[in-house]
Structure 1
Amino acid sequence: MEGEPGSMAKVAQLLILSLSWGMQIWVTFISGFVLYRGVARHTFGLVQSKLFPFYFYITLACAFLNLSIFAVYHPREQLTQGEAGQLSLFFVCLVLSALNAQWLSGSTTEAMWKMQAVEKEHRLGQEVGLSSSQGAYKQLREKDPKYRALRQKFFRYHGLSSLCNLACLICNGVCLVCLALRLDSL
């Protein structure tokens, strides 16, 4: 199958890559901000906990398909420097998507549920967006070492997950640019 890709392979590569990148843009920069500003804090966490596993597994599937299609039509021995870079970007996206889907998403959600349980005990979590309750959360952090530790754990996993997601978004964006610059082939 190596050599010049057929029209079907080109269309599949473009559709999968643009689907993944568009979904990443939407989830990363639009839906989270809209939800954060429009629903209660615990509702936001619930929605994210249901949405993110699907999002990360779809991103993982797209990364696998992108890498597979590209690798089939670009034998390692004949790769140009640009193609090798693009192949590396697809591989990085695959690894980071797998990390998010298999480990970080679940760990973040687990820490969030535990944090929310403590917050509910203190009648917190029903505020929408940045509210006047920020002082109550600060007092809870200062007063409850268990909550403070859970919060640190949550933000550590959430931060790593966000970095992986952002790196995948950048990798896919660069691959889209490469694809656009060579529309006559993959």
Structure 2
Amino acid sequence: MPMEGDPSSLAKVAQLFILSLAWGMQIWVTFISGFVLIRNVSRHTFGLVQSKLFPFYFSALVVCAFLNLCIFACYHPRELLSTWETLQGMLYFVCLLLASVNGLGFSRATTAAMFRMHAIEREHGLGGEVGLAARREAYQQLRERDPKYRDARQIFFKHHGLSSFCNLVCLTCSAFNLLCLALHLSSL
């Protein structure tokens, strides 16, 4: 049964901590770690690191979104929700849903396609260079010559694009919920 009224100090701190943790992870993974890695390690090492990082990231994001939604729902009975609170609750749910879809679907498909690409690239002596611009012509020629590589690359970019879109929507949901929380610090 939902708990009406003012949330306890513990609930307020938990909500703020969990939402801030999710936001910080999203900012770091989306805008910082990938750009630092791609400029400093080989393409294949970058892909390997991302393949290990993303499952943990999406799992942690799912847990944070679930906990945030639970805390929010406990102190906001459905019958008493304002329009803004309804939107806020929906955004917690959207973040939970998209992080789950990303972790269970798009991320796995992207990683599988990436590893197929890596295997073909290794056969042609590619993948050890640092940065995206290195040996660009060799990758272009490989795409033109090898239909398996071209197909794996198309699958990779399709799923990577969908995953990135879901991640950006999740990030936007967290930003909006942080804004709502900041504007109503006396309650959740």
Q: How does 1:1-186 map to 2 (within 5 A)?
A: 1-186=3-188
1:80-105 Cα distance to aligned partner (Å, 9 max, x none): 00000100100100100000111111
| TM-score, length-scaled by structure 1 | 0.98
- Partners of 1:142 and 1:157 lie apart in 2 by 21
| TM-score, length-scaled by structure 2 | 0.97
Q: For this pair of structures, how many residues does the alignment match?
A: 186
Q: Secondary structure at the match of 1:69?
A: helix
What amino acid sits opposite 2:106 in the alignment? L
Q: Where does the alignment leave 5 or more consecutive residues of structure 1 unmatched?
A: none
- Partners of 1:35 and 1:185 lie apart in 2 by 40
Deviation at 1:46, TM superposition (A): 0.4
- Partners of 2:58 and 2:156 lie apart in 1 by 18
Deviation at 1:169, TM superposition (A): 0.5
What amino acid sits opposite 2:96 in the alignment? L
* Identical-residue share of aligned pairs (%): 66
1:98-154 Cα distance to aligned partner (Å, 9 max, x none): 001111111111010001000000000011013340000000000111100000000
Q: Secondary structure at the match of 2:39?
A: helix
